[in-house]
Amino acid sequence: MRLRCAVLDDFQNAATEVADWSPLADDVEVVSFTTHFPDEDALADALADFDIVVTLRERVPFPASLIARLPRLRLLIASGMRNSVIDYAAAEAHGVTVCGTASSSTPPVELTWALLLGLARGIVVESDALRGGGPWQSTVGADLHGRRLGLLGLGKIGSRVAQVGLAFGMHVSAWSQNLTKEYADEVGVHLAASKEELLAESDYVSVHLALSDRTRGLLGAPELALLKPTAYLINTSRAAIVDQDALLAALHEGRIAGAGVDVFDVEPLPADHPMRTAPRLLATPHLGYVSQANYATYYGQAVEDIQAYLAGSPVRRLP
């Protein structure tokens, strides 16, 4: 009897197109789910008959309570090599092997700039007007050259965002709790003396921090109040780093020029969520990691993970 493998949140129905699953054909039946399961009960019902689950990033939590309700589960594969929503102790206790895949930092870098440029030049507003018979030119674009880009975080993603900003002729500053002047100098950016200084002096602020107890709620109402009224905020990292209610208030009250957001407190975003109708907001449905090359890596290595598990030698084990 073949094992059953569930692929979760395959919204584009791309998992079996971007990778070759044929090496598993004799041993594994692959079932792709193109819609999101809204809660643990729905997940437990849907996955009850599956031995293997492939999940995207940290979208679907696997707490101890869910793992206990999946007695057939033997292998859980998450894209990326870090996942904070899987209870690893519970997985081990129930005999579930957890594996990961590689993940490229390039797609979120590119999306960060898509959002920033889209906001700065009013791309969506002008495109909609042109296609809908609206006014010919209704916005005056914000400049990048000579303006200051402030980066919260200068890791793999932040440092590459910095290089693009420098190429545009921007002045680039960075801050994080552990950032040193030596590393900032190595990247070629200014080390801001404080988070507050970075926020107050930047024309564009982009978030590139991992979510932790130290960064959760890092930008609340007091911090957003430091931004210039002409400033733009970009968040392609984690929604919880920015207080969502404070951001919505700043957008509705016109206290910042705009925001580009790819991450939300609830995903997928409910139809009536206020982020869907907020003014001055350019939003995308968590596309930071969604690219052809990254998906080919995720699902191609998921196949490798399954093959290795079936051979008795699991690879890329988490944590």
**Is residue 238 among the annotated active site residues?**
yes
What is the distance between the alpha carbons of residues 192 and 181, in angstroms, rounded to a whole number? Answer: 9
DSSP letter string, the chain: --EEEEE---TTS-HHHHS--GGGTTTEEEEE--S---SHHHHHHHHTT-SEEEE-TTSS-B-HHHHHT-TT--EEEESSS--SSB-HHHHHHTT-EEE-----SHHHHHHHHHHHHHHHTTHHHHHHHHHTT--S----PPP-TTPEEEEE--SHHHHHHHHHHHHTT-EEEEE-TT--HHHHHHHT-EE-S-HHHHHHH-SEEEE-----TTTTT-B-HHHHTTS-TT-EEEE-S-GGGB-HHHHHHHHHTTSSSEEEE---SSSSPPTT-GGGT-TTEEE-SS-TT--HHHHHHHHHHHHHHHHHHHTT---SB--
What is the distance between the alpha carbons of residues 122 and 253, in angstroms, rounded to a whole number? Answer: 19
Provide the sign of the torsion angle of the four alpha carbons 173, 174, 180, 185, taken in this order: negative
C-beta atoms surrounding 34 within 10 Å: 13
**Is residue 286 among the annotated active site residues?**
yes
Catalytic option among 267, 273, 304, 316: 267
Residues annotated as catalytic (active site), given as ranges = 238, 267, 286
